[in-house]
Amino acid sequence: MSDCLPMSDYSNLPRELLLEIFLRLPIEDLVKSTAVCKPWNSVIKNPNFISTHLQKSISSTNTNLLLFRLYTWTSEKGARRLEYSLRSNNKALDEYKQLTCPNIDGCRSRVGSLRVAGSYNGLVCLVEDGSYGYGDTFILWNPVIKKAIHLPEPNVTYSSHGPYDAFTGFGFDSKNNDYKLLRYVMLDTNDYEGEVPIEAEVYSLNANCWTSITSIAPKYIPLLGYPRDYGSSFVNGAIHLLAFDRIDPKRSLILAFDVSEQVFNEIPLPDPLSDEYSRPAQLLTYGQSSIAITTKESWPSSIHLWVMKEYGVATSWTKVLTKEAAESVGKVLLFKQDEQVFVVRNDKSIASLDIKTKHYEVLGVQAPEEYLFVDSYVESLVLLDKCCNAGWNVISIHEDDANSTDE
C-alpha cells in the first residue's frame, strides 16, 4: 500500500470533497480503494464514515434488496442445495446475486445447521443451535464486503451448565452504534427440581464479549419451535421473543428486550392467543415500528396473521388474515408493505399477497418452507473496520469456496 505519491492530484483534494466522492462510490469500489493508499484506507475504514455511508444507503430510494436463504433442487435426484442470495425486489425476484458463505470448520458439513437469527444494517447473524453436546456457533457476516467474524464462546455452554435450549435474537443499539445479540437460555429441567432455570446474556460487538443479564431476566420460558424460526423480531430498538409464564404456563406473551437500555418489557398477545402457548407461532416486523404474529392451525390447516397497529397497545391488535384468505398459505415470510406480505404457498411457490383484495401474485421462486428466510437488506460497510489484530476472530471468505451446501 503506497502513500498516494503517484496520485498527488487526488491526495491533495480537501478531505470534505474526498468524503463526498467516496460516499457516492459503490461498495465494491470502496473496498478496493482501501488498498490504494494509506490515507484512503484510513478514511474508508473510519467508523464515522462507515456510519455516514450506511445512513446514505438507508435513505437512498434505490435500496430495494431482499436477503434470501433457501433450498434449491440440484440435478442429482433427491439432492437439495442451501443458498444465500441478494435479490432485487422486482416482480419476479429474478435478478439476484449468489452470496459466498463463510467457510466455518465443522458447520458447513451439517446442512441447515446455521440459522439466520436476524439481519440488520447489512449484517447477517448466523447461529448454529447448540444443545446436548454441541456448542453454539455465532457468526456476524457482511456478505457484500465478504467479511465475517466468529464471535467468542458465550458464558453458558454445555460444558459449564449441561444440556440447554436457547433463543438468540439480533439487533442494533443506535445509542452506542453497537450490534448486540440476546441469548435467552432454558436449562435442562431433568437436572433441576422446581422452577426451570433461565440464564440470559448479551453480546456486544463494540466490547467483543458476552455479559450475563440473568439478574434482570423475567421469569418466563422462551417458546422455541422446530425447525427454529427466529424471523424478523427486531424493531423499535428491541428484540422480541415469544414466551410463557413459568408459574402459569397457559399465559403467553411477548418479551421485548431494549438493546440500548438493556431492559425487558412485556407486550400482551391478542386475547385469543394469550392462553394458548402451545400453538405454533412466529413474530414478524410490521411497518417501521411495530410487530405482527402468525399462528398456524394443524387441523384444519390454516394460517392466521395479527398486526399490532400501535406498538405496545394491546387493544390495537388486529386480525388481518383469516382462514379463508390464507387457505393456500403455508407460511408468512415478511411484510412487503403494510397491506402486502410475502408468503410460501402450499405448492412451495413464493407469492405476494394483497391482504385487502386477497389477490395472489406468484413470484419466480420455488422453495421448501423448511429453513426458508427472507428479509429486507441494505448494503453497508459494517465490519470493514474490524480486523484480527484487534481481537476479532475474522473468517476468510474466498470466491472459489463453494457457495452452498449440498444435502
**Which is nearest to 337 in space by CA: 293, 376, 379, 372?**
376
pLDDT in tens, 340-358: 899 888 888 888 888 888 8
Cell of 52: 455516514
Q: How confident is the model at residue 272 (pLDDT cuts 50, 70, 90)?
A: confident
Give domain limits for the chain: 5-44, 57-406
What integer pLDDT is reported at residue 109 of this predicted model?
Answer: 41
Average pLDDT of the segment spanning 329-341:
85
Spatial separation of the C-alpha atoms in residues 154 and 157, rounded to whole Å: 7
What residue type is 397 in one-letter code?
I
pLDDT digit string (tens) for 46-88? 999 999 999 988 887 556 788 988 877 665 665 667 788 898 8
- Return the SS3 of 47: helix
Least Cα distance to 141 among 167, 111, 107 occurs for 107
Percent of the chain scored above 70 by pLDDT? 78
Looking at residue 111, what is its pLDDT?
A: 43
Using alpha carbons, select from 281, 256, 285 the residue that is nearest to residue 376. Answer: 285
| Beta carbons within 8 Å of 194's beta carbon, 6+ residues apart | none
Superfamily of structural domain 57-406? Kelch-type beta propeller (2.120.10.80)
Q: What is the pLDDT of residue 217?
A: 92
Q: 279 is written with which cell numbers?
A: 400453538
Higher pLDDT, 3 or 116: 116
Q: What is the mean pLDDT of the chain?
A: 81
Model pLDDT for residues 125-176, shown as the tens digit of each residue:
998 866 554 567 899 999 999 999 999 999 988 778 877 788 899 999 999 9
Residue 265, pLDDT above cutoff 70? yes
CA distance 181 to 204: 7
What pLDDT is stored for residue 330 in this prediction?
82
Give the separation between CA 281 and CA 284, rounded to whole angstroms: 10
What is the reported pTM?
0.89
pLDDT band at 227 (very low <50, low <70, confident <90, very high): low
